[in-house]
């Protein structure tokens, strides 16, 4: 498992809390539909505070994510539904590919001491906390990639307790990755293709799937103003 984008031990403690709440005493089963009553998973407060710290430290360029994992082989997860619920407000949580969702930052629901709720039973789920790039795919430049590497590491240091910092690994690159090898990624100088690089280095994405990547870091020599054209079939990872 790739640790460079995990907030390691401090995040593992949060994950343990998520799993503990997911395995609390079972309530009667409910219908799986948008307006159905849901089973409590975890209070919102801890993830809200962590997400807000990461957002502030990274100038909004990095987000807190949660990857949901079945705890048992027979648990379906393709039908999972999660809501964030306060006393006066509730909202559905979008589950992205790989069963990952971005922790929303909602001041009202946090003030209402809201909770996540999920349509799964006792012991069905565990979770891992990850950090995700928060930049739209069309907005990446070489300079922004270098900036996000710095900001991601600042966010990690400000989020992890000081006594965990010796164990925390850093983000070393922003990578454009694809499920197939040798997908071309163009480096654009305005409307002109200045260079083309290929996704040919093996890695693992946030969902634990094998991917092929091309890496950008502080040693990348293209001009900061150059735009990185992320293919529609690719994803951007913090590695």
Q: What is the pLDDT of residues 181-233, one digit of tens each?
A: 999 999 999 999 999 999 999 999 999 999 999 999 999 999 999 999 999 99
Three-state DSSP class for residue 63: strand
Residue 152 and residue 234 in one domain: yes
Mapping DSSP onto H, E and C, the string for 84-147 reads EECCCCEEEECCECCCEEECCCCHHHHHCCCEEEECCCCCCEEEEEEEEECCCHHHCEHHHHHH
pLDDT in tens, 85-109: 999 999 999 999 999 999 999 999 9
Residue 233 within any structural domain of the chain: yes
**Tokens (6 digits) for 36:** 């159905």
Distance CA(206)–CA(112), nearest Å, equals 31
Instruction: Pick the last residue of a domain from 94, 115, 133.
Output: 133
Phi, psi of 129 (to 5 degrees): -95, 135
Residue 31 and residue 127 in one domain: yes
Residue 23 and residue 82 in one domain: yes
Instruction: Pick the last residue of a domain from 76, 105, 133.
Output: 133
Residue 129 and residue 143 in one domain: no
Residue 159 pLDDT > 80: yes
Residue 1 within any structural domain of the chain: no
Q: What residue numbers bound the domain in which 49 lies? A: 8-133
Residue 86 and residue 164 in one domain: no
Instruction: Pick the last residue of a domain from 89, 113, 133.
Output: 133
Residue 180 within any structural domain of the chain: yes
CA distances from 77 to 30, 46, 63, 80, 148 (A): 16, 24, 23, 5, 32
Distance CA(123)–CA(121), nearest Å, equals 6
Residue 120 within any structural domain of the chain: yes
Global pTM value: 0.82
């Amino acid at each position: 498992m790739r640790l460079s984008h995990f907030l390691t031990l401090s995040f593992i403690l949060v994950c343990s809390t998520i799993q503990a709440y997911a395995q609390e005493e079972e309530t009667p089963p409910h219908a799986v539909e948008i307006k159905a009553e849901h089973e409590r998973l975890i209070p919102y407060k801890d993830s809200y505070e962590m997400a807000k710290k990461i957002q502030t430290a990274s100038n909004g360029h990095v987000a807190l994510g949660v990857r949901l994992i079945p705890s048992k082989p027979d648990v379906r997860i393709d039908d999972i539904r999660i809501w964030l619920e306060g006393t006066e407000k509730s909202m559905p949580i979008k589950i992205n590919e790989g069963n990952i969702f971005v922790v929303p930052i909602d001041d009202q629901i946090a003030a209402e001491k809201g909770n996540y709720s999920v349509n799964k039973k006792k012991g069905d789920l565990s979770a891992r906390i990850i950090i995700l790039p928060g930049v739209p795919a069309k907005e990446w430049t070489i300079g922004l990639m270098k900036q996000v590497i710095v900001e991601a590491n600042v966010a990690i240091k400000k989020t992890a307790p000081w006594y965990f910092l010796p164990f925390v690994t850093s983000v070393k690159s922003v990578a454009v990755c694809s499920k197939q090898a040798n997908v071309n990624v163009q480096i654009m100088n305005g409307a002109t293709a200045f260079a083309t690089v290929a996704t040919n280095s093996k890695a693992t994405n946030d969902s634990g799937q094998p991917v092929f990547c091309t890496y950008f870091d502080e040693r990348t020599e293209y001009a900061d103003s150059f735009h990185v054209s992320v293919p529609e079939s690719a994803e951007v990872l913090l590695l």
